Amino acid sequence: MRAVYITMEDALLIYDEQPDHTWHMDTYLDGLPTYCLAIDPHVPTRVYCSTFGKGLWRSDDGGRMWQPVGAGIRYAEVMSVAVSPLERVGTYGVVWAGTEPSALFRSEDRGETWAECPALLDLPSREALPWSFPPRPYTHHVRWIEPDPHEKARVFVAIEQGGVMRSLDAGLTWEDHNPNGQIDGHTLRTHKLAPGRVYEAAGGTGLILHWDEQNRPYPVLTKGGYAETRNGGETWETQTSGLVHKYFWSLAVDPANPDTLVMSGAIGPNQAHFGEAFAESFLYRRTTDTPWHLVTNGLPEPKGTGVYSLATNENEPGAFYAVTGRGVYHSEDAGLSWQRLGFDIPDRYRWQRVYSVIVRG
């Protein structure tokens, strides 16, 4: 049976599929600003959940019981977590955690203790660009960590906002952002069937200020979108053919086909994230190097829809999940059409941000 894990602004929601294909929902980590999730691929009942201001948490029973972990992570604002699919110590995978302000940490003992990877902060772009998170321009953070599924020591990190950095030696040293990638990386993905390929969904630059009918200002981005590398980060290429919008948040790739992608976006961060006041978001799809195109079949109207967080399930080839405050939508035909799953997200979460989603089982 499947389980869908969804991080919200003040709780973690877990939906469990029952034998009769109905769903049961429980909330966990109530009152905590949950942010990012990772499952240990070597021990699938081990789940990590990051929080903003309350550190990193771990469950060893699939998410029912949680404990704080993270001695050695020197910031409580944990923005990203990942478990290596290749590198492990004993039966458990090496865990990575990223924070705000930007710092990267590594654990070889299930998160009990951590060691910092300080060389990440020595990259020239940190001061030359400089790194900066626009809503809080005095800081920046490690938005995403993507260990490579083919090269044990290769790992990619997206700094929001600063670019995608690469390490070839498990975090000891780092290479700075390639200018042909996107500097405002939000989501990175790799694929077990595509050695060397990394996918990047990003925000953008070229901000133009607009005003809505109530005279409220909001930014519209004119540059940004999607970039990828097919040689392990040696070179990158930005690919925006077919993209009407320039702000993108989440990305998922068909487990059975590394050329089929779905990506969520909006005209700018306000429409993506600021709920009832501005919400308007979209889904794009592409396959086999064709241009991106909007998909709408079975999805709610863009107006009033916060940006989707996307996921796949290794046990469901050709399937995608898209989660927003309006519900959980499922595609069984590689993103062409969508159906709402048979459960509702409680009304109290309608306008909360869905920070991340994972599907297990």
> Domain total for the chain?
1
Q: Which CATH number belongs to the domain containing residue 233 in this structure?
A: 2.130.10.10
Strand 3-7 relative to strand 12-17, pairing: antiparallel
Task: Give strand pairing partners of 251.
Answer: 263
**Interatomic CA distance for residues 194 and 182, integer angstroms:** 21
Task: Give strand pairing partners of 88.
Answer: 93
As a whole number, the mean pLDDT across the chain is 94
pLDDT at residue 136, as a whole number: 87
Question: Is the omega angle on the peptide bond into residue 182 within 30 degrees of 0, that is, cis?
Answer: no
Asked if pLDDT for residue 177 goes beyond 70, the answer is yes
**Interatomic CA distance for residues 26 and 12, integer angstroms:** 8
Model pTM score: 0.95
| Segments forming the whole domain that contains residue 265 | 3-360
pLDDT tens-place string over residues 243-298? 999 899 999 999 999 999 999 999 888 889 988 888 999 999 999 989 999 999 99
Q: Which of 10-14, 155-159, 225-229, 268-272 has the lowest mean pLDDT?
A: 268-272
pLDDT at residue 276, as a whole number: 81
Place of tokens 């240990």: 40
The closest of 361, 300, 301 to 328, measured between CA atoms, is 300
Q: 16 and 23 in contact (C-beta within 8 Å)? A: yes
**Interatomic CA distance for residues 114 and 109, integer angstroms:** 8
pLDDT tens-place string over residues 186-210? 999 999 999 999 999 999 777 677 7
Q: Listing from the earlier edge strand, what are the strands of the sheet with 141-147?
A: 141-147, 155-160, 163-167
Mean pLDDT of 21-37: 96
Residues 6+ apart with CB under 8 A from 58: 46, 47, 48, 49, 66, 67, 68, 69, 110, 111
The larger pLDDT score, comparing residue 153 to residue 134, is at 153
pLDDT at residue 229, as a whole number: 98
Place of tokens 């898209």: 322
